[in-house]
C-alpha cells in the first residue's frame, strides 16, 4: 500500500517561511493536495494538484512536487497559520491516502 | 454557499450500530462523488468510504469492509453511513466531504463524534 510521510512538527519564526514536506515513493508522479486543520475545526483545502490555491487561500501558501517529496510552503508565516497540515493523494490501489499530519508552530 | 452538515453521532456500545447522515446544500449534490473521512481523538485523518454520483460504485477502507455501508439519496441531497458491529477503534469524528475531480476533498462538514464504549 502507498504511504505518505510527514514530519510530526515544524516550527517557524513569525514572518519567516515554513516548509512542510510530504514523502512518498515517486510522489512526483501523483497529484498532491494539502489541508489545514485548526483545533476543533474541520480540515480546509489549501492546495490542490500540487500547487493550485483554492479561492480565498492567501498567496502566501504555495506547493511543489517532484521526485519523492512534495512541499507545502507558507511564506511570511502568521500566528493564524498555526495548525495541523495534511497531505493527500488518490492512489489507484488504496484509493485515498493521507499523510500523518504536521503540527506547525509559529514562534 | 456550499455546505455539508453531519448528524447522527453519539455514544454506542461495542457491537452496536449507528447511522450517520450528511445534509448537502448549495451545490448540485447528484453531480459529485462523496466521501466519509474520520479522525480518531488526537490522531490523523483516515479515509473511510467513497460513493459515486448515482451510487453504483462504492469503495471502503479495509478496516470497515463488511461492517459499514455508504449510501446516498440524491432526491434528499443526503449522504449516509450505516455503521454496524462497531468497535472501540471506530471512535472518531466522522466528516463528510465532497470529492472534486476524483482527487481531493472540498469542502468538509463540521464532523460528528462517534464514541464506541461500554
**What is the mean pLDDT, run by run of 10 residues, along chain A of 107 residues?**
96 97 96 97 98 97 98 97 97 88 97
Q: Select the residue of B44, B95, B106 nearest A100 (Cβ to Cβ).
A: B44
pLDDT tens by residue, A14-33: 999 999 999 999 999 999 99
Helix spans in B6-66 (H): none
Mean pLDDT of chain B: 97
Give the one of B45, B46, B50 whose C-beta lies nearest to A43's C-beta.
B45
Is A49 within 8 Å of chain B by CB?
A: yes
Tens of pLDDT along B38-48?
999 999 999 99
Number of neighbours of residue A78 by Cβ within 10 angstroms: 12
Tell how many helices (H) and how many strands (E) occur in chain A: 0, 9
> Which pLDDT score, from 0 to 100, does residue A91 have?
82
Cis bond before residue B107 (omega within 30° of 0): yes
Residues 6+ apart with CB under 8 A from B114: B9, B10, B12, B18, B20, B38, B83, B86, B90, B91, B92, B93, B94
Q: Cβ distance A101 to A4 under 8 Å?
A: no
Amino acid at each position: 500500500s502507498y504511504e505518505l510521510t510527514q514530519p510530526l512538527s515544524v516550527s517557524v519564526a513569525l514572518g519567516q517561511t515554513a516548509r512542510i514536506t510530504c514523502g512518498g515513493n515517486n510522489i512526483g508522479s501523483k497529484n498532491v493536495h494539502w489541508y489545514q486543520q485548526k483545533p476543533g475545526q474541520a480540515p480546509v483545502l489549501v492546495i490542490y494538484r500540487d500547487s493550485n490555491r483554492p479561492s480565498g487561500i492567501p498567496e502566501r501558501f504555495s506547493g511543489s512536487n517532484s521526485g519523492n517529496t512534495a512541499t507545502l510552503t507558507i511564506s511570511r508565516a502568521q500566528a493564524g497559520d498555526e495548525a495541523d497540515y495534511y497531505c493527500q493523494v488518490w492512489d489507484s490501489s488504496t484509493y485515498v491516502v493521507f499523510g500523518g499530519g504536521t503540527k506547525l508552530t509559529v514562534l | 454557499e456550499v455546505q455539508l452538515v453531519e448528524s447522527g453521532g453519539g455514544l454506542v456500545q461495542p457491537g452496536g450500530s449507528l447511522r450517520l447522515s450528511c445534509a448537502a446544500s448549495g451545490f448540485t449534490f447528484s453531480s459529485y462523488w462523496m466521501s466519509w473521512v474520520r479522525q480518531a481523538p488526537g490522531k490523523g485523518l483516515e479515509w473511510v468510504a467513497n460513493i459515486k454520483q448515482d451510487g453504483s460504485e462504492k469503495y471502503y477502507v479495509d478496516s470497515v469492509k463488511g461492517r459499514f455501508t455508504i449510501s446516498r439519496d440524491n432526491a434528499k441531497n443526503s449522504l449516509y453511513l450505516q455503521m454496524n458491529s462497531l468497535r472501540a477503534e471506530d471512535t472518531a469524528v466522522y466528516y463528510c466531504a465532497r470529492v472534486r475531480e476524483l482527487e481531493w476533498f472540498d469542502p468538509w462538514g463540521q464532523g460528528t463524534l462517534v464514541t464506541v464504549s461500554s
